[in-house]
Amino acid sequence: MPSYIAPVDDMMFLFEKLRDNKNYNEIEKYKEVSSDLVRNILEEAAKINQNLILPLAKKGDENPAVLENGVVRTPPGYKEAYQKYIEDGWTSLSCDPKYGGQGMPKTVSAFFDEMLSSASLSFKLYSELSIGAYNCINHHATDEIKNKYLPKIVEGKWSGTMCLTEPVCGTDLGLLKTKAAPQSDGTFKLSGQKIFITSGDHDLTENIIHLVIARATDSPAGTKGISLFLVPKFIVNEDGSIGPRNGISTGSIESKMGIKGSATCVLNFDEATGYMIGKKDKGLNAMFTMMNLERIVVGIQGLGISEIAYQNSLAYAKERKQGKTNKTKSTNGADFIIEHADIRRLLLNMKSIIEGERALCFWLSQQTEVSLNHHDEKVRQEASDFVSLMTPVVKSLFTDLGMEITNDAMQIHGGYGYTKDQGIEQLYRDNRITPIYEGTNSVQAADLVFRKLSNKNGDIINKYIDLIKTETDLDNEKIKPFIKEFKDYLNILVKFSEWINEKTKTDRDDVSAAANDYLKTLGFVSVAYAWIKVLDVSFKDYNENKNFYDDKINTAKFYFDKILPRAEQHYKSAISGSSNIMNFKFN
């Protein structure tokens, strides 16, 4: 089983030193969230993840969730751990105190999401969708619905799901077949089938609150006729107590490559009672409140799994002997593999990506809070645009690089990495879903280039680039070599953005073929931007903690020397166009 130590010190460094968003710091309700409070939360989070949840990863993989006589049973130990998890209040961390939450900002809850992803992604998924459902209901439901359902979801007694996909449609939701027939009492009867529903059924909570997209019987075809419905597993009585079973049954649990402890269900809705959330035929708008949050959280899943893969690779490299280096230190015929240049390259590849991603995610968390809570509408909108721009980047880049990192972790472990004993191959299998669900990474890339670079509020990508230019205009002599190199890649991003903009007008196939390359270029440059912010602090505060900041400076140097050049490679690949791709004749 892999070991894991939550990177609390690195997280606290970000919270204390990179909480530099002026607009975020103006949010009144977070001014009382002190460093001492956050450290206490993170240290307690580390304990429950390291001691209670981490062992569940292997148990869930070896004893998957099962469907028996119509009842879904979670792996051994899950029920007891979940009870402790909700008793300690972890489901309520970022929720509104009005409904029993603790009201912590996403600058804190994102760190917890990372820890939980490192410890056991399968276990995490049972509560993760509940927070997404909470956010969707909180933003779009009536006060009556909120007061009836949110306190129990926040408490963790009830969980939530997101029911989109059907056998006839994956991402193309306009093809969905699930129908919602209006009733005289204002409710709807839903009939249809949903597939790939994460935590669709289980034995951890008293009730499961499904958020289901469906088409009212009098609504038009396509995405314009989709509405959103709240459909509980058990009907909730007027007094809030659990009533009779609703018309929902579990058809099967998917047999999967990874995250085996998570029950991924086929759900059948047979005239199940549902309550419309938000406006009729505007269901996708409401559901995207949940989906966009989930896409960022999926990116954090990739980061969390990368972190535990790195930690175990580093530990293994320090204890495994194999071969001799050019400057051998061995007296008995072999050196530790950490002395080999290529192993060190792989480890630094992991470390520089992970720490850069964590810093970028912290930046995005601040922007998210500004978009939701700042008093100035214009400031909120600009932050919302930045979050919208970076959501597909974080979702896709972090998960794709998570696959690279878990693959390299297996390589470092050699044959032992391929066996189940070390647990590294499970990290690879568990992470493999992250580039797929919540919209495949290719869908994210297309969304980025066709929808996110510009919107009704203007040219978002250029606003983002202007922000980066302003924040990287620094005087410190020690950081100038990094900034000089960074500006070269920022200019590549500018040229790439201009190329995308022109090609959108003349040849959309060129843009489609370049979408993944563009996302990667934007992603690698954005992580470098986060590293510049880290370097600025590292040089200024160097004497406070020389060992810590030496580590940051040298890790950043590796990123700039070895990782950032990929941005240019993607640019050069993309601008070759799509003619060969589109004209190729497959036999």
Across the range 481-498, mean pLDDT stands at 97
pLDDT at 325 (0 to 100): 79
391 with 293: CB under 8 angstroms? no
Q: Which has the closest alpha carbon to 302: 314, 312, 310, 291?
A: 310
- For 142-160, what is each residue's pLDDT tens digit? 999 999 999 999 999 999 9
**Which tokens go with 528?**
């470098």
CATH H-level superfamily of 8-143: Acyl-CoA dehydrogenase/oxidase, N-terminal domain (1.10.540.10)
Across the range 419-447, mean pLDDT stands at 95
- For 323-361, what is each residue's pLDDT tens digit? 887 777 666 678 889 999 999 999 999 999 999 999 999
Say if residue 578's pLDDT is above 90.
Answer: yes
pLDDT at 455 (0 to 100): 85
Across the range 462-489, mean pLDDT stands at 96
pLDDT band at 175 (very low <50, low <70, confident <90, very high): confident
pLDDT at 291 (0 to 100): 76
Say if residue 486's pLDDT is above 90.
Answer: yes
Burial of 282 (0-12, 13-18, 19+ CB in 10 A): middle
Say if residue 505's pLDDT is above 80.
Answer: yes
- For 538-569, what is each residue's pLDDT tens digit? 999 999 999 999 999 999 999 999 999 999 99
Helix (H), strand (E) at residue 248: strand 248-253
Q: Which of 254, 438, 471, 485 is catalytic?
A: 438
Q: Whole-model pTM?
A: 0.96
127 with 12: CB under 8 angstroms? no
pLDDT at 306 (0 to 100): 98
pLDDT at 331 (0 to 100): 63
Q: How far apart are CA 346 and CA 408, in angstroms?
A: 7
In the chain, where the domains are located: 8-143, 157-287, 452-587
Q: Which has the closest alpha carbon to 151: 212, 105, 92, 72?
A: 92
**Which tokens go with 385?**
């645009």
pLDDT band at 13 (very low <50, low <70, confident <90, very high): very high
CATH node for 157-287: 2.40.110.20
Q: Is 438 annotated as catalytic?
A: yes
What is the rounded average pLDDT for all residues in the chain?
95
Q: How far apart are CA 563 and CA 530, in angstroms?
A: 14
491 with 417: CB under 8 angstroms? no
- For 287-314, what is each residue's pLDDT tens digit? 777 777 889 999 999 999 999 999 999 9
323 with 334: CB under 8 angstroms? yes
Helix (H), strand (E) at residue 578: none
Residue type, 41: I
pLDDT at 364 (0 to 100): 97
pLDDT at 14 (0 to 100): 98
pLDDT at 534 (0 to 100): 98
* 577 SS3 class: coil
CB atoms within 10 A of CB 219: 17
pLDDT at 230 (0 to 100): 98
Residue type, 235: I
pLDDT band at 322 (very low <50, low <70, confident <90, very high): confident
pLDDT at 330 (0 to 100): 66
Across the range 498-509, mean pLDDT stands at 95
Burial of 71 (0-12, 13-18, 19+ CB in 10 A): exposed
* Whole-number Cα distances in Å, 447 to 69, 180, 569: 42, 29, 22
Across the range 103-115, mean pLDDT stands at 97
Q: Which residues pair with 215 in a beta bridge?
A: 179, 226
Contacts of 257 (CB under 8 A, 6+ apart): 429, 432, 433
Q: Which residues pair with 159 in a beta bridge?
A: 208
* Whole-number Cα distances in Å, 246 to 40, 132, 189, 199, 249: 42, 22, 10, 17, 9
pLDDT at 427 (0 to 100): 98
393 with 141: CB under 8 angstroms? no
Q: Which has the closest alpha carbon to 109: 127, 84, 123, 83?
A: 127
- For 62-95, what is each residue's pLDDT tens digit? 999 999 999 999 999 999 999 999 999 999 999 9
- For 224-243, what is each residue's pLDDT tens digit? 899 999 999 999 999 999 99
Q: How far apart are CA 276 and CA 259, in angstroms?
A: 32
DSSP string for 476-498: -TTTHHHHHHHHHHHHHHHHHHH
* Whole-number Cα distances in Å, 189 to 133, 200, 299: 20, 19, 35
452-455: long-range contacts, CB 8 A cutoff, minimum separation 24? 452/388, 452/389, 452/391, 452/392, 453/389, 453/497, 453/500, 453/501, 454/501, 455/385, 455/388
pLDDT band at 61 (very low <50, low <70, confident <90, very high): very high
